[in-house]
Amino acid sequence: MKISYERHAQILVSAFTVLFLVLGVSPRYRQDWLLENAILIPVFLVLTWGWRHRLFSSVSHALIFVFLCLHEIGTHYTYSEFPYDDWFQTLTGHRLNDLLGWQRNHFDRLLHFLYGLLCACPFREILVRGAPVRGFWSYLLPLEVLLSTSAFYEPIEWIAAVVFGGELGDAYVAAQGDPWDAQKDMALAGAGGLLAIVINLMINKRSQRNFAHEWSNSLSVEEP
């Protein structure tokens, strides 16, 4: 049975609301949970605006839903203390960090990569349907937006660490003593976004009849 655009969005919002309430009952660190979830305010403003103007496809809604659910799981435990190592040891009898030679909790790094992988296509839909952007630029500019939003978030983390300080600041930044944490986070977001854009480009190249013509026109310079 085909689900309407509005019904699909309502189901995802309802499911996320239930998850948000359940995980918000007793997070590991309440103050960090509140600080991490402040980002949901601008996110839902953008999503509501996009939904009203039908900028996002149902696929993009699903991608954003997955990312926000993972974000909520991370905020419940805090990113730097997500117990994937304990769960892996329970299942296999070994610690994943020991097997891979990791010295830190990498859940935050995974989420930065997934931010790029899952959110690049929604950014592209905003530019294609809202700008509109075509051809080559419709693949390059979403990646630029992704990198710029990732870079914009890192100073926010730094300011929060300075303002709140102590354990709350450390938990929010989740640098875990790595002086290059911000650069690595942005690089992973860019890598995930690049992978998503390349996959999107390959699919469109095979499915769109006017792909080559649109690509060529986007690189031509209009005469004055």
Say how far apart CA 157 and CA 123 lie, in whole Å: 22
Burial 50-79 (b: 16+ CB within 10 A, else e): bbeeebbeeebbebbbebbbbbbebbbbbb
What per-residue confidence (pLDDT) applies to 57?
A: 93
What per-residue confidence (pLDDT) applies to 171?
A: 65
What per-residue confidence (pLDDT) applies to 172?
A: 66
DSSP letters along 44-72, please?
HHHHHHHHHTT-S-HHHHHHHHHHHHHHH
What per-residue confidence (pLDDT) applies to 173?
A: 64
Q: Which residue reads 């095979």 in tokens? A: 206
Compute the chain's Rg from CA coordinates.
20
- The token duo for 89 is 């040891």
What per-residue confidence (pLDDT) applies to 3?
A: 81
What per-residue confidence (pLDDT) applies to 136?
A: 94
- pLDDT tens string, the chain, 224 residues long: the values are 678 888 899 999 999 999 999 999 999 888 888 888 988 999 999 999 988 888 999 999 999 999 999 999 999 998 888 999 899 999 999 899 888 888 888 899 999 999 999 999 999 999 999 888 899 999 999 999 999 999 888 888 778 777 776 667 666 666 667 778 888 889 999 999 999 999 999 999 999 889 998 998 888 887 76
Give residue 179's Cα distance to chain centre.
22
